[in-house]
Chain A
Amino acid sequence: GAVVSQHPSRVICKSGTSVKIECRSLDFQATTMFWYRQFPKKSLMLMATSNEGSKATYEQGVEKDKFLINHASLTLSTLTVTSAHPEDSSFYICSARDRPTANEQFFGPGTRLTVL
């Protein structure tokens, strides 16, 4: 149980285009999903917390207009990188928990974004 998937696993796009990454909880309803960014040889940095049916909460320094998050259902959250630039190239990982007070998060396999 507690499986989280991400799609696509890899994406290459041109500078200036937008890219959408999906995060799905496959066997549970995720009231909260989290989006992380992992730079090469670095740790995971939380970008935003996404609550179903409400606006995402962004961490300091993360541009909400650039990284659009939508959590329209209990099993799906999307991250859209708008007007992508090469410096947005990174590994994006989502996680989910099945209830607001749950201690554990279940991680997706990640999406590697390369912006040319």
Chain B
Amino acid sequence: AQSVSQHNHHVILSEAASLELGCNYSYGGTVNLFWYVQYPGQHLQLLLKYFSGDPLVKGIKGFEAEFIKSKFSFNLRKPSVQWSDTAEYFCAVNEDPLSGGYNKLIFGAGTRLAVHP
């Protein structure tokens, strides 16, 4: 069965520090990959997504993620975090429906990021 692992459950950083959140998935077929953010008291928002093409994906608010197929990974990065990045971050994967996959989005457990001024 498909699964998504986020290795860091809680991350605490100071402003301007660099961020990398790990995400690994288990599925051998063609996948689509997503990172969502949930700010305190708000709903899920899409940060970035990878369907195909350049494995380095740039999203909103300075975030980027790199898809490394050989490692089944899709780590999220930001060179310099801000206090406003404090939120919970979810990695998600689905099987590409155009490749015959079942389009069910599987979420990782989430990483709670706290950025201190």
Contact B105 A46 (CB under 8 A): yes
B66-108 near A? 1/0 per residue, CB < 8 Å: 0000000000000000000000001000101110000111111
Residue ID in chain A nearest B31 by CB atoms: A103
Q: B46 near A: Cβ within 8 Å?
A: yes
In terms of DSSP, what is the predominant structure of the interface of chain B? mixed
Main secondary structure of the interface of A (DSSP, over half): loop
Query: Within 8 Å CB of B51, what residues of A?
Result: 103
Type the 1/0 row for B31-71, where 1 means its CB is closer than 8 Å to any CB of A.
Answer: 01010100000111110010100000000000000000000
The 3 closest A-B pairs by CB, nearest first: A109-B43, A107-B44, A101-B97
Given contacts A103-B49, A108-B43, list 7 more A-B pairs with CB under 8 A. A43-B109, A44-B90, A93-B44, A101-B103, A103-B103, A104-B49, A110-B43
CB of B43 within 8 A of CB of A43, answer no
Give the A-B pair count, Cβ closer than 8 A.
50
Count contacts on B: residues with CB < 8 A to the other chain.
24
Q: Flag if A43 contacts B94 (CB, 8 Å).
A: no
Q: How far is the CA of A44 from the CA of B89 in the complex (A)?
A: 12
Interchain CB contact under 8 A, B107 and A103: no
Q: A100-B97, A101-B97, A107-B44 are in contact. Are A42 and B110 (CB under 8 A)?
A: yes
Can you name 11 A-B pairs with beta carbons within 8 Å? A32-B103, A43-B90, A43-B110, A44-B107, A100-B103, A102-B97, A102-B103, A103-B97, A103-B98, A108-B43, A109-B43
